[in-house]
Amino acid sequence: KGNGCEVFTTVAEAVEGVDAVVSMLPNGAIVDSVYAKDVIGKAPEGAILLDCSTIDVATARKVGEAATAAGYGMVDAPVSGGIAAANAGTLTFMVGGSDSDFARSEPILAAMGKAVIHAGALGAGQAAKICNNMLLGIHMIGTCEAFAMARKLGLDPQKFYDISSVSSGQNWSMTSYCPVPGVGPTSPSDNGYQGGFATALMLKDLKLAMEAARSSGAIVEMGERAKELYEAFADAGNGGLDFSAIIKTL
């Protein structure tokens, strides 16, 4: 807690006799610092280390390799689902690590989520999370634009939802997390865009995606534009609002 974060060390109830360290921290620099100073060499010998932070791929691999060299098993296991899924125990975990480390971590993660998917070697979980959240950011902006244009064309939002939610424009941002109050399942839009997945966190993930794109040579023009729009929205004082609140700009 000395550097503004928490590390949870637990003997996982899901697997008797297994020592595990589970962490979820704000960024790669803090993950690197905490594991170097407070976890590696301090955790029980042979423990499995599960980092559920969303950070850059390079740092995830660096920390994982250091942990492995010290005799620990380690996976990077970022999550998807937000606050509601965390409360309900229905998160999705995207896991990077060796086959053996994934096998040790899977029962622990399964106690907290509905899906635990092995994405590949160390860092693959972060790669999957970054790509997924870039797509989410793009979809949300497109969904907001469609609802705003539909309204200006005289369509009732509920009628547009009823049509598009069963047509080719259907996507998660519409049918599970609608940015229009009173339309679709209950979402942060029904609570003044409070709670949910903060704009500042979406922006963080989009920045990670842009860094990953540059380092890998990927072309992500829509991702870059989504980052610019969320950056402007956050800079206008909306970083604490749910990311679906970007509909306010339309």
Q: Which residues are catalytic?
A: 129
112-143 residues labelled b (16+ CB within 10 A) or e (exposed): bbeebebbeebbbbbbbbbbbbbbbbbbbbbb
Spatial distance between the Cα atoms of 223 and 131, rounded to a whole number of angstroms: 9
Torsion over CA: 67, 7, 187, 233 (sign): negative
Whether 75 and 96 have beta carbons less than 8 Å apart is answered as yes
Torsion over CA: 198, 202, 205, 207 (sign): negative
44-60 residues labelled b (16+ CB within 10 A) or e (exposed): eeebbbbbbbbbbbebb
Q: How many CA atoms lie within 13 A of 225 on its CB side?
A: 8
**Beta-carbon count within 10 A of 15 CB:** 17
> Which tokens belong to 246?
């970007």
Whether 21 and 39 have beta carbons less than 8 Å apart is answered as yes
Torsion angles phi and psi, residue 168, rounded to 5: -70, -15
**Beta-carbon count within 10 A of 158 CB:** 13
